[in-house]
Amino acid sequence: MGRIQLLPFLLILLLTEQTLTQKGKQKCKEEEHALAIRIKKHQNTPETKFKFYEEGRDEDLCQIQIFQPETLEKCSFNESLPLVVIIHGWSVDGMLESWIWKMAAAFKLHKSQFNVVIADWLTFAHVHYPIAVQNTRVIGLEIAEFLEWLESSIQFPRSNVHLIGYSLGAHVSGFAGSYISGSNKIGRITGLDPAGPLFEGMSSTDRLSPDDANFVDAIHTFTQQHMGLSVGINQPVAHYDFYPNGGHFQPGCHIKNLIANIGFHGIKETVKCAHERSVHLFIDSLLNDDKQSMAYWCKDINTFDKGVCLSCRKNRCNTLGYNIKKKRLKRARKLFLKTRSHMPYKVYHYQFKIHFIHQTKDIQLDPTFTLTLIGTKEDVENVLFTPDDGIKGNKTYSFLITLDTDIGELMMIKFKWEGIDVWANIWDTVQTIMPWTSEADRPGLLLNTIRVKAGETQEQMTFCSENVDNIKLLPAQEKTYVRCRNNAKKQARKARTS
């Protein structure tokens, strides 16, 4: 096939979304399965090339030919090992992207052993996007036939198969799972930011869904609409759907910086960065066994940012990536987490609940606080906390803090109210005029307790002021909080009576 001149990545997807109505999309989807069957009947050879990956080789891979069992032996296919099939997405330049080789190599470096096959469908992917969408059913059918042939020729069980599809490849995986014959399903399908255009809002039979394998998981990294376009699908499509950083732009993929530097090409690269982050998060899970990212079931990212979703009870949390706990659920679960901008991506999640008693209307109403966290392994300084709606009355504030490093067990918190103590000189004057006044009369905030929950360990801790006789916090002042012991009740009682 000759090189096809394509519109830029964003533009062609945007035009696709704007020119095809939802009714037209539905009709198109209903015809695709019949189209796939018709095309297959007239094909002499499959369009998909099943390339067996060998460590250290990115080119001239051994190709397994369907219905030619001698090629399995030639390619050193080991029927006693699980099979991983990596499936790429839509192709702009007709080339296999570099992430494919990184993922294949990561599987080979893993402590477990695998057969790794790359499903190369470039001839059907290097076309205009709407055509590539139609072709996903054809390729899904070919992959299903390939797996059925492995099962019939060498008794390789489909339950030992893990399909990993990126973007359009995620839906290819879903169609492969739905087309495979018999009641037994493929073992696992992982969708890496499954494509959104022409799939968003479609029925479960027209996209990747939990019904397509014994276990289905998906990582969504670029789902928010920009210029009327969502590259990745936003709706849940799996048993567990992960939304790192809310599933929107990812850390390190900042569109403003790229626009300022390299114009429209910057937008394209930003989209690629966020869309492809799903791939690198999965690779990270293979390479860093000691830094597995944990995600938590939550309604949405705004609720998650309050820190109220860090529970692991009743399968409310799970590990992102290869090492996920494969628990089938009756209903899909949306899990959220934060990540760093680079590998290893893991961060440590903490919920902080701080109870303030506001002492006067005259003090700063929108304060900023910084925390120093002292742990058994490391300390972290200058962690910022700014209440969204300021400090109002007697209220408990819940918020999420994430740390790049493992501080171990949290032992002490230093809490500082950033700002200028405008009352300092005034208060000296007041005490000169009215010497009977005391420090207790000075405007400030009573900070009752700091409660902390560590998401990764599920440990819950309560911290009280080191000085139980003076729990008032003033601007520009820092106080130290330690694990509450017998002084907890005394401090709480003092706060209520102050």
- Regarding predicted confidence, which is higher, 430 or 390? 390
pLDDT over 80 (residue 360) = no
What residues form the annotated binding site?
A: 207, 212
Give per-residue pLDDT as tens, 9-36: 443 444 344 444 444 544 544 455 555 5
The two beta strands, 379-385 and 445-454, are unpaired
Structure-block tokens of residue 318: 């799970």
Confidence of residue 473 (pLDDT cuts 50, 70, 90): confident
| CA–CA separation, 141 and 175 (whole Å) | 7
What residue type is assigned to position 484 of the chain? C
Q: Give the total residue count for the chain.
A: 498
Give per-residue pLDDT as tens, 153-198: 999 999 999 999 999 999 999 999 999 999 999 999 999 999 999 9
What residues form the annotated binding site for Ca(2+)?
A: 207, 212
Is residue 373 a contact partner of residue 413, using CB atoms and an 8 Å limit? yes
Nearest of 152, 213, 141 to residue 176 by alpha carbon: 141
Structure-block tokens of residue 294: 């944990």
| CA–CA separation, 180 and 175 (whole Å) | 9
| Alpha carbon distances (Å) from 21 to 6, 29, 198, 269 | 22, 12, 10, 28
- Quickly list DSSP for 26-41: HHHHHHHHHHHHHHHH
Confidence of residue 82 (pLDDT cuts 50, 70, 90): very high
Report the chain's mean pLDDT, rounded to a whole number.
Answer: 84
Averaged pLDDT for residues 293-304: 96
Confidence of residue 443 (pLDDT cuts 50, 70, 90): low
Q: Which residue is associated with the tokens 């009327």?
A: 228
CA angle, 296 then 302 then 303, to 5°: 55
| CA–CA separation, 172 and 92 (whole Å) | 17
| CA–CA separation, 495 and 498 (whole Å) | 5
Q: Provide the β-strand partners of residue 273.
A: none
Averaged pLDDT for residues 37-62: 76
The answer to whether residue 278 is catalytic is no
Please name each of the domains of the chain with its CATH number.
9-337 (3.40.50.1820), 348-497 (2.60.60.20)
Q: Which of 69-78, 89-98, 390-399, 415-424 comes out lowest in average pLDDT?
A: 415-424
Nearest of 480, 479, 477, 399 to residue 443 by alpha carbon: 477
145's CB contacts (< 8 A; 6+ apart) are 46, 66
Q: What is the 3-state secondary structure (H, E, C) of 53-102?
A: CCCCCCCCCEEECCCCCHHHHHCCCCCCCCEEEEECCCCCCCCCCHHHHH
What's the pLDDT score for residue 256? 52
| CA–CA separation, 483 and 466 (whole Å) | 9
Averaged pLDDT for residues 51-56: 89
299's CB contacts (< 8 A; 6+ apart) are 309, 334
Instruction: Name the active-site residue from 275, 280, 349, 465.
Output: 275
pLDDT over 90 (residue 214) = yes
Instruction: Name the active-site residue from 167, 285, 293, 465.
Output: 167
Structure-block tokens of residue 323: 């090492």
Q: Provide the β-strand partners of residue 375.
A: 410
Biggest CA–CA distance in the chain, Å, is 101
State what percent of residues in the chain have pLDDT above 90: 62
Instruction: Name the active-site residue from 193, 217, 241, 284.
Output: 193
The answer to whether residue 290 is catalytic is no
The answer to whether residue 167 is catalytic is yes
User: Is 319 in a helix, a strand, or coil?
Assistant: strand
